[in-house]
């Protein structure tokens, strides 16, 4: 067995260092691989064990690449035959499948039988202690932040050490780390205790000379003498490097996250949406579950990156540095997927800037598949259910409840015949705008949008989501007066406003077939909806009365938004999309995003939308981002470069009607352009009321 090095364990405590064997020892382990059970939950253990047998039996007379590919194909086929998650199957059936393939997360982490409250309290202090670094500037929390609702990932490409140097690997999350088979990307530490002793002595990270230097530093801080005595009673000299490690590990064993997925696993079928369930089925059927197995959806095995296609970065040999086995070149621990939407960027080297790209690359590198946009998007929806609820739940929005009459119609209910075909055409134009009415359209006469966005980039769930800028009920709201044009206008003009601003393009003829089709779809969605029904637009948002902090907004973006939209805000175009230009995740700034005249470029408008809809899958009444943070991240988005629209000085013929957060002049007041863009806004609003 020369290529894949799966980490084999029994019910006994596993030591990754045991894989440092000579060739003879390696052969003995190969003979046992088919009978030793992987310590993963459910029937995934059986599949992984069988895979080991396949590798062992075929390795003698076939190239290792061929063996590995055949084994991967065999396992995917076996999973599909045994537990194929058929699209549309009842959620109860899906629940049984996921219980078998993944299993429930245990209540406590292994290894904590001797942990005490005093050890945990000490460990928490040590986790945040900067005095254990060479220049007293770096703590565990510096690279693995858990304050401010962090999940122990710093959202950097690679970790930054005490002296400003960067390492060569991405910092994995601390949450749930103790459930893994080993620590670090290469598994060089068997336990949390061993892991916690590494960074303080790493010259790039904390830079301390040795364990004794750490102990001396701790003893110089008098309060630790008492804390160590309480945590390790009866020991003559409790301040030791080993006890430091035990305390930190005890605290880290308390860092367990639970998301909506866990509520689903407990039998609450309402905890996740149908699209999220479809993403779960896709995750199983595509074959992701063969590596991302167990309750953490990963962290239980080692795998080569690049099974079918070579990974671009060949500089890091991975586990080879630990074992010196040729078969361990480019082998890394499979990362956990819990909280994956909060831990961008991705892979051991942080090269994948957003989750869409990471999923797409994994399908290609590991499964030899170019995933469809729908498959990627559905899996992204599923991944949102793995985020820790406590860390992604902000105070509820104070607005009246949405109407119980809000029941989105189903596309299958569109009537057959010419009328229905016309409605479906309108739906296609609004959901696939770039390909139908943008540069992706073959007929240049149909090029109306000027970027890669679709109308549904803003209008969530195909225009049916409550407070997600829905189209349901919109027909009853038009014609209406709009201050930007200072006139009463119909729905057609409103749509053209989006084409000129949000889509950075040009208007369609109001009597064109395409315009009429889009209006027909909106009319169909709005059929039988009461006028001014609650759920239109976005919930009312009142931001803090201060100037927004763009730098803080960038931090919020890194934590909540970068996983989908990337570090450069340009979203992601899948490999299967080819040169079409359509994106799984839309661009938030740059040439392919909305221009500066779009409503989404207004801070308060953007904040209201983000608060009730983002990250992906957020419900309007269960926001994930706080009022303060959403205010700052909206300012950060407004600060980024984007296309400039001509003629904005003609907007708002009556300047006194101009919105307080409109970021471009002229204004009817004496407040600066900067204040109109970033706040504080209350003084502007008060001045407007006096006029």
> Mind telling me the catalytic residues?
205
How far is residue 159's CA from residue 64's CA, in Å, rounded to a whole number?
Answer: 34
Residue with tokens 């359209």: 441
Q: Is the dihedral of CA 177, 180, 185, 191 positive or negative?
A: positive
| Residue 257, SS3 per DSSP | coil
CB 654 within 8 A of CB 667: no
SS3 per-residue string spanning 286-325: HCHHHCCCCCCCCCCCEEECCCCCCCCCCCCCECHHHHCC
CB 297 within 8 A of CB 322: no
In this structure, the strands spanning 331-333 and 480-482 are unpaired
How far is residue 373's CA from residue 352's CA, in Å, rounded to a whole number?
Answer: 17
Residue 489: strand pairing partners: 480
How far is residue 475's CA from residue 520's CA, in Å, rounded to a whole number?
Answer: 10
513 to 429, 492, 518, 622: CA distances (angstroms): 11, 12, 9, 39
438 to 444, 507, 587, 641: CA distances (angstroms): 9, 12, 15, 21
CB 177 within 8 A of CB 192: yes
Residue 183: strand pairing partners: 189
How far is residue 3's CA from residue 319's CA, in Å, rounded to a whole number?
Answer: 12
Tokens (6 digits) for 372: 């469809």
């Amino acid at each position: 067995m020369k290529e894949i090095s799966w980490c084999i364990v029994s019910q006994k405590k596993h030591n990754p260092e045991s894989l440092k064997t000579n060739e003879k020892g390696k052969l003995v382990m190969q003979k046992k691989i088919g009978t030793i059970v992987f310590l993963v939950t459910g029937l995934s253990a059986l599949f992984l064990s069988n895979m080991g047998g396949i590798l062992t039996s075929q390795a003698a007379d076939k190239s290792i690449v061929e063996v590995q590919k055949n084994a991967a194909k065999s396992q995917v086929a076996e999973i599909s035959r045994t537990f194929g998650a058929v699209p549309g199957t009842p959620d109860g059936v899906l629940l049984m499948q996921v219980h078998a393939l993944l299993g429930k997360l245990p209540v406590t982490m292994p290894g904590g039988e001797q942990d005490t409250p005093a050890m945990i309290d000490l460990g928490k202090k040590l986790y945040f202690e900067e005095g254990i670094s060479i220049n007293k500037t770096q703590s565990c929390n510096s690279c693995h932040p858990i304050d401010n609702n962090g999940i122990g990932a710093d959202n950097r490409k690679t970790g930054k050490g005490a002296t400003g140097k960067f390492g060569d690997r991405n910092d994995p999350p601390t949450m749930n780390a103790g459930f893994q088979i080993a620590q670090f990307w290469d598994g060089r530490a068997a336990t949390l205790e061993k892991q916690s002793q590494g960074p303080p002595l790493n010259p790039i990270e904390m830079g301390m000379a040795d364990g004794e230097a750490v102990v001396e530093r701790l003893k110089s801080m008098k309060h630790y003498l008492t804390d160590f005595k309480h945590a390790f009673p009866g020991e003559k000299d409790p301040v030791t490097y080993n006890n430091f490690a035990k305390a930190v590990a005890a605290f880290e064993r308390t860092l367990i996250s639970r998301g909506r997925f866990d509520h689903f696993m407990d039998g609450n079928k309402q905890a996740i949406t149908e699209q999220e369930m479809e993403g779960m089925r896709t995750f199983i059927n595509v074959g992701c579950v063969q590596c991302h197995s167990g309750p953490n959806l990963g962290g239980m095995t080692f795998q080569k990156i690049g099974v079918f296609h070579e990974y671009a970065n060949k500089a890091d040999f991975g586990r080879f540095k630990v074992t010196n086995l040729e078969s361990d070149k480019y082998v890394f621990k499979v990362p956990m997927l819990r909280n994956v939407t909060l831990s961008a960027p991705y892979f051991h080297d942080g090269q994948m800037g957003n989750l869409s790209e990471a999923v797409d690359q994994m399908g290609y590198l590991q499964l030899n598949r170019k995933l469809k946009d729908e498959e990627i998007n559905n899996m992204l929806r599923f991944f949102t259910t793995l985020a820790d609820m406590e860390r992604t739940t902000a105070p509820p929005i104070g607005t009246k409840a949405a109407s119980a009459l809000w029941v989105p119609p189903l596309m299958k209910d569109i009537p057959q015949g010419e009328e229905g075909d016309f409605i479906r055409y309108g739906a296609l134009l609004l959901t696939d705008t770039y390909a139908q009415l943008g540069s992706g359209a073959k007929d240049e006469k149909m090029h109306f949008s000027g970027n890669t966005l679709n109308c549904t980039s803003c209008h969530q769930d195909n225009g049916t989501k409550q407070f997600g800028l829905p189209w349901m009920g919109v027909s009853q709201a038009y014609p209406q007066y709009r201050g930007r044009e200072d006139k009463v206008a119909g729905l057609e003009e409103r749509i053209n406003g989006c084409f000129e601003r949000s889509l950075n393009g040009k208007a369609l003829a109001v009597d064109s077939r395409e315009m009429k089709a889009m209006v027909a779809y909106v009319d169909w969605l709005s059929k039988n909806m009461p006028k001014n029904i609650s759920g239109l637009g976005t919930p009312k948002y009142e931001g803090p009365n201060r100037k927004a902090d763009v730098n803080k907004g960038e931090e919020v973006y890194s934590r909540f938004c970068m996983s989908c939209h990337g570090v450069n805000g340009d979203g992601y175009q899948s490999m299967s999309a080819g040169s079409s230009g359509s994106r799984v995740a839309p661009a938030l700034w740059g040439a392919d995003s909305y221009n500066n005249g779009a409503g989404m470029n207004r801070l308060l408008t953007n904040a209201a939308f983000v608060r009730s809809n983002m990250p992906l899958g957020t419900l309007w009444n269960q926001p994930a981002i706080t009022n303060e943070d959403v205010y700052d991240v909206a300012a950060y988005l407004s600060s980024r470069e984007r296309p400039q629209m001509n003629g904005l000085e003609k907007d708002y013929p009556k300047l006194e009607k101009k919105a307080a957060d409109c970021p471009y002049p002229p204004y009817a007041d004496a407040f600066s352009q900067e204040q109109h863009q970033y706040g504080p806004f209350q003084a502007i609003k008060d001045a407007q009321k006096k006029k």
